[in-house]
Structure 1
Amino acid sequence: MKEDLVTLDLNSNRLTQPLLTQLVGFNKLTSFGQSGNLLTDLTAMAELTATFPSLKNLELAGNLIGNLPAQVFQCAPEVQTIDLSFNNISYIHYNAFLGLTKVNQILLEGNHLNSLGSPEVGRIVLYNEVALLSLKDCGIESLESGFVEGLGDRSSLSLSRNPMLRFPEGVFGDLLRSITVSDIPEKTGIDFYYNFIQCDCDFLWLAKDRWLNVHVYGGFCGPRSDDWKEWVSLHSVDAEELEKNCSALNTPEPPGPLRARMNQGIDQLWALTS
């Protein structure tokens, strides 16, 4: 079958090694699945120098993979979809996707990527504008600036169902601007469904920018409360009211001597009116 095999499905078994290492020479293979097995380490795949020139679809979901080493997918330079959902991935080397210029979907949902962008968790560097990068259900409370590089116009990032607390401009500003260049939105931007963030000053930049705001789909903000009546959708935040609140919070107190003189003047005024 070496000269003819196009699809190989090894899903839902108990295999512990990535079997692409044993398929070198299967040059017509376009789809390979080893999801739902017991894979923990992809280092052997990263060491492959021979390539699978026709491989377009790689499914490795539902394993026990803990990290993505450098150039782990170099054996599949033409791959378009990589499914790594629901593994134990908690570290991504910045060169994990090096050389992949045709990839269109990367599914990383259901992994452990809180603080992605930090040295401890790594970051995602892409070499073309993928249509979808999914980080749903990854236990993300916060992300670091530069957690992903390479998303562009017409790209979508899914962050739904993460316990995120804030939406700071330093993390999301440049990213959101880079994926919303086109004049006509076509569902590009950030999926943010089932997230509940604080309606605080970290969100003001997005509340004021209606163009960027419409490219963040779903999500609510408000106080940390179980009372749904106190929550509003991200598109419904009153930007003017929030700006007033933030301005009041950011108004500095007068310096010591001036504050003392103000208090003295208030005391004198009070004495005159009493």
Structure 2
Amino acid sequence: MDHAMRRYTVLFCIFSVVFGQCPLQLQEPCSCSSTRYEAVSIVCDKGESLSSVLVSLSNPPAQIDSLIISNTPIDQLPGYAFQGFNIKKLILRNNGLRIMHPNTFSGSLEESLEELEIKGNYIDTIPQAGLTVLKNLRILSLPDNLIDYVPDNAFLSYHSRDTIQKLDLSANNLTAIHPTGLLGLENLSQLSLDKNLLHEIPTQALSNIPTLEDLSLGVNQISTVPKDSLPLPNLKSLSLEVNQIRHIPSDSFQSVPLLTYLYIGNNLLTSIDPSIFYHIGNLKVLSMGNNKDITIVPADAFQHIPLLIRLELSDCSIARVENGALRKANSLQVVILSRNQLTQVSHDSFSNLPQTTMIDLSNNAINRVDDFAFSQLPMLTSLDLSSNRLETLPSNVIYDSLTYHSPSTVRKFLLQNNPWRCDKDLAWLRKWLRDNGDVMISSNGDLTTKCWTPSNLSGLDIRQTDPSPTTPARVKIGDQMRKILKPAETLLIPTKNDLDTETTKAHTAVNGLALVGLVLGIVLSVLAVCLILLLVIRWILRSYEEKSTGSNFGSTVGSNGYVGSAYSGAGILETGERAQRSTTNNNIYMNRPRYWWF
């Protein structure tokens, strides 16, 4: 027990030394946290003023990895504002800042500050006062301000001009950059000019920063990419997304031979011209999505970029991918063609792509996929065919693809939102999905992939076995009759292989019911004939009795004399008795029990 306690105490002490360097007492509005990357990270949010923040930080630690002052009214930063602080990264966000004193960062920050972000304020030009004294600044971020122009030699007076590697001027109001506006940034590797008002590429300004490797010009108003407009021999990543570019000449990228990542989506391009890639054979990522006028992927589209790894062509109007269009780019790993107008996938559209891990064809109008269309793709782990018009798939469509590699590999075969017809032609897929239970068939949050037809399987999870067929009431009567004639057999729930057998049994039940109906009809007919015969016999007997009674009565009257002679009292009495007997006999005949009629 003592040994365990000592061990925990040592671990606690080590943790406290490494991660627990926050001040013991830190007043509002500031708070401190420690992470494995930043031992001391202080956030001061919604303070009353800069003075209140500095009071809270009256006993700062020896080293502050990051200090964030946000949503605090600071119209201007005074001189020596951070005197006594040793800060590595300083972020001033949404404070209404307009002006900085020339000595704002004078003191220990001259040497310690490496990252400075002034975001969401009212800075309207590249700051000269204050920032020029910083000597080791590596990252300068001035996004979301009011800067509309980068003047001549804007950074030439910066002591850290040869150490700044990243400059962020995005989300300002920039309309132009002076030809020498970026002069002096001798080691700049990343420049962000996104979300501004530039109408053209600032070619002359860019020529002064040949070390640039990453350039972002997205969300501007650029309409052309002229020849030699990018004099950047070391450029590896270029973003021209969300502009107004209609055409890119074949020699536009001649001056950027090392280009590896190209983002030209959300423009007005009408086609994929293979010639624009001729000078950038090292390209690995190409994003051209959301160019609404692109309708075809031609067969030679990517013949000049064999090292392409990721291709994004979503949200276009592509209706056809010509045979062999991807064949020359056999290093492709990710292909995204979602939200287009494709109606079919041919057998060689994705052939000869041994490195492909993901294919996204969701949200098209695909109603036919050729056999072997996605076969022999050994690295494929994600295939998205969701939200199309597919009713079935051929049995070899994923032959030797989507194979199991390891428990850590997530396999996806997304099939939801298709009108699947779960008949014998799709039986192979349903069995394959049951045998490969780890494969995801619906994306997170979407409904389960279900059968649409036939009606008895509508709404059933495509992965489940078929349910027992629903038997109509009249067939159940036939089943009960068979139970009377034959002992019941063991009830078996049919699988997909027993569908034909179950159908045959249903037809047999219906035939048995017809036979029973025929027998009942014959029996009822015989009973009806018997009833008619009984009624006829009864009528004959009654007629015979009436004739016999009338004859006897006449003979009796005649033997007692003529009517109208002198009658004797005895004769009259005898005649009355016979009449009474006849009436009594008739009453007995009519009052017999009703069942006698039958």
Q: TM-score, normalised by structure 2?
A: 0.34
Match of 1:71 among 321, 324, 333: 324
State the SS of the aligned residue for 1:265.
Answer: helix
Note if contact 1:152-1:178 (Cα within 8 Å) is conserved in structure 2: no
If you compute each CA radius of gyration, which structure gives the higher value, 1 or 2?
Answer: 2
Structure 1 gap ranges (5+): 204-219, 223-232
Q: How does 1:84-103 map to 2 (within 5 A)?
A: 84-103=337-356
Question: Relative to structure 1, is the Cα distance of residues 75 and 237 closer, same or farther in structure 2, using a 3 angstrom cutoff?
Answer: closer
2:387 to 137, 160, 165: 137
* RMSD, matched Cα: 4.0
Is the 1:179–1:189 contact (alpha carbons within 8 Å) kept by the matching residues of 2? Answer: no
Percent identity, aligned pairs only?
15
Question: How far is the alpha carbon of 1:101 from its aligned partner?
Answer: 0.8
Q: Which amino acid aligns with 1:149?
A: I
Gaps of 5+ in 2: 1-232, 234-255, 405-410, 471-492, 529-598
- In structure 1, C-alpha distance between the alignment counterparts of 2:434 and 2:515, rounded to whole Å: 52
Mapping of residues 35-46 of structure 1, within 5 Å:
35-37=289-291, 38-43=293-298, 46=299
Task: Go from structure 1 to structure 2 and tell me whether the alpha carbon gap of 1:269 and 1:144 turns closer, same or farther (over 3 Å shift).
Answer: farther
**Which residue matches 1:264?**
518
Amino acid at match of 2:281: N
Q: Which residue of 1 aligns with 2:142?
A: none
* 1:178/1:41 CA distance change after superposition, 3 Å: same
**Contact map agreement 1:145 1:172 (CA 8 A) in 2:** no
Rate the CA distance shift 1:128–1:167 in 2: closer, same or farther, 3 A: same
Change (3 A) 1:181 1:27: farther
Q: Does 1:170 align with 2:421?
A: no
Distance 1:149 1:62 in 2: 26
Partner of 1:160 in structure 2?
Answer: 416
- Residue type at the aligned position of 1:70: N
Equivalent positions of 1:101-112 (< 5 A) are 101-112=354-365
Distance in 1, Cα, partners of 2:338 & 2:324: 19
Is the contact between residue 69 and residue 95 of structure 1 (CA under 8 Å) also seen in structure 2?
no
CA distance in 2: counterparts of 1:94 and 1:236, whole angstroms: 29
Deviation at 1:29, TM superposition (A): 1.4
1:120-131 pair list within 5 angstroms: 124-129=373-378, 130-131=380-381
Q: Normalising to structure 1: TM-score of the pair?
A: 0.68
Distance 1:157 1:236 in 2: 16
Partner amino acid, structure 1, of 2:421? R
Cα offset for 1:143?
A: 2.0
Match for 1:117: what amino acid? Answer: V
Tell me if structure 1 keeps the 8 A contact 2:369–2:394: yes
Tell which has more relative contact order, 1 or 2 (C-alpha 8 A, sep 6+): 1
Q: Evaluate the alpha carbon distance shift between residue 78 and residue 57 of structure 1 in structure 2; reply closer, same or farther with a 3 A threshold.
A: same
Cα separation, partners in 2 of 1:9 and 1:263, compared to 1, 3 Å: same
In the alignment, does 2:459 pair up with 1:221?
yes
> For 1:85-104, what per-residue CA distance to the aligned partner results, in whole angstroms no more than 9, with x for missing partners?
11111132221112111111
Contact 2:450 2:462 in 1 (8 A): no
Report the Cα distance in structure 2 between the residues aligned to 1:17 and 1:241, rounded to whole angstroms.
53
> Aligned pair in 2 of structure 1 residues 153, 201: CA closer, same or farther (>3 Å)?
farther
Could you tell me whether the CA contact under 8 Å between 2:346 and 2:369 is conserved in 1?
Answer: no
Q: Deviations over 1:122-173 (max 9, x none)?
A: 8723331411111111133x124348233332453211123x1532342242
Cα distance change of structure 1 residues 272 and 156 upon mapping to structure 2, 3 Å threshold:
farther
SS at the partner of 1:221?
A: coil
Report the CA distance between 1:52 and its aligned residue. 2.3
SS at 1:251's partner residue?
Answer: helix
Letter in 2 for 1:148: V
Q: 1:152 to 1:179 in 2, by over 3 A?
A: farther
1:109 aligned counterpart, secondary structure: coil
Deviates more, 1:29-38 or 1:49-58: 49-58
Contact 2:345–2:373 (8 Å) recurs in 1 = yes
Task: Give the counterpart of 2:281 among 24, 27, 31.
Answer: 27
